[in-house]
Amino acid sequence: MYALGLCCVRCNKKYPLKVIYKCVDCGGILEVVYDYEQIRPIEMRDKARQRSKNFNLLPLEEDASIVMGEGWTPIVEANRLASQLGLSKVIFKCEFSNPTGSFKDRPISIGVSKALEFGYSRVVIASSGNAATAAAAYAARAGLKSIVLVPESTPAEKVKQAAFYGARVIRVRGPYSNCFNLAEEAAEQLNLFNLTTTFINPYTVEGNKTIAFELVDQLNGLVPDYVFVPIGSGPMMVGIYRGYVDYAALGLVESPPRMVGVQAEGCDPIARAFAEGAIEVEPLANPKTIAGGICDGLWGYADDGTHTLNYIRRSEGYALAVSDEEIKAAQICLAQKEGLFVEPSGAAGVAGLVKSASDGMIGADSCVVVILSGHGLKDMRVLGEFDIPVIDSDVWELIKIVED
């Protein structure tokens, strides 16, 4: 393992690889730093092609990780959409193909592995749903007890999935931020390892870097011009960018892509700050959107949003907000024109791409990757009812219906 330790992004104070959730001096976000000089890029590239997780760039030992086949999700070229939008290439990274149905398996795999390393028997997580199911599954595999806090409005599909893995699932009244703050307090009072996949746990964020590692291999070294990512607090987007930064530092790619963070209009603190040219992100007390997976108003931890905003600017990318109607349209388009079934949050990136192309925010020769973050079976509420006829086994009755 080539991880050197933790470093505060605000004051640059260094820490060992221990259970530390924030800088003790300034309260800043902590990130894992690596010894690039000791990593052999050629060996690491070969490992990538053997479908390794590139453990040299993760804060754990390869033989100490809890895995269930997460990662190496397929990429799908969307030629029809690219043609429709007048773009050179559009590629979907199908993160809904992970074991529990979302990208959250990546950070949770790292987090649960570290929980074992640090000697914890119980973990806690605040989640809008996808991380809850991932935490429940990976904790079960590791033999850990899991306490899962979800907003009262969390889709039943996600709640049932987490509960079936054996987690102690508890609904919390109010927005996601209430779950976040309660998990933080519970971790301290009950000696639980906090797996919450914002930026509070510096280890879980690292798992998102593997998306970048895979894309480099899957695209034969090609770095897209833009990567569109649906964001709440933004750790997936930041993780992807940092993965490309790691590879750039090792000479495996020339430079990272521009990152585009897509939020829902009913929960857009980061996009709003970007549009206003603000230095810091202001939280939202009562966010509301059909895209529950990215409905995070950042109340009580707005620094997470500012951290993501800084990375967006560092990448020379941008943030934007899309309406629930645009998200629904993207979800339908993916299903009926591409055969890909994603939840509303998973379709937000596509909605952002369509809006960006229509508004001339990206060039016609652009190569774009869009992250499809979660499976459609995760949230069936927005699908509505379908008029499904029932008939006898009579071909003429069938013909009457299909030819009508």
pLDDT 10s digits, 374-403: 999 988 887 877 888 898 999 999 999 998
Mean pLDDT value of segment 68-72: 93
**pLDDT > 70 in the chain, percent:** 96
Q: Per residue in 314-338, pLDDT tens?
A: 999 999 999 999 999 999 999 999 9
Q: What is the pLDDT of residue 320?
A: 98
Q: What is the pLDDT of residue 53?
A: 62
Q: What is the pLDDT of residue 387?
A: 86
Q: What is the pLDDT of residue 45?
A: 56
CATH architecture of 75-99+207-383: 3-Layer(aba) Sandwich (3.40)
Q: What is the pLDDT of residue 67?
A: 87
Contact 61, 1 (CB under 8 A): yes
Burial (CB count <10 Å: 0-12, 13-18, 19+), residue 89: middle
Residues 6+ apart with CB under 8 A from 323: 264, 265
Q: Residue 51 pLDDT > 70, yes or no?
A: no
pLDDT band at 48 (very low <50, low <70, confident <90, very high): low
Q: Residue 49 pLDDT > 70, yes or no?
A: no
Where do the domains of the chain lie? Answer: 75-99+207-383
Angle at 286 between CA 282 and CA 288, to 5 degrees: 110
pLDDT band at 44 (very low <50, low <70, confident <90, very high): low
Q: Which pTM was predicted?
A: 0.94
Q: Per residue in 140-172, pLDDT tens?
A: 999 999 999 999 988 889 899 999 999 999 999
pLDDT band at 128 (very low <50, low <70, confident <90, very high): confident
Q: What is the pLDDT of residue 41?
A: 67
Q: What is the pLDDT of residue 42?
A: 58
Token reading at 4: 């050197």
Q: What is the pLDDT of residue 43?
A: 61
**pLDDT > 90 in the chain, percent:** 85
Q: Residue 22 pLDDT > 60, yes or no?
A: yes
Q: What is the pLDDT of residue 46?
A: 59
pLDDT band at 13 (very low <50, low <70, confident <90, very high): very high
Mean pLDDT value of segment 363-368: 94
Q: What is the pLDDT of residue 103?
A: 96
Mean pLDDT of the chain: 93
Q: Residue 50 pLDDT > 60, yes or no?
A: no
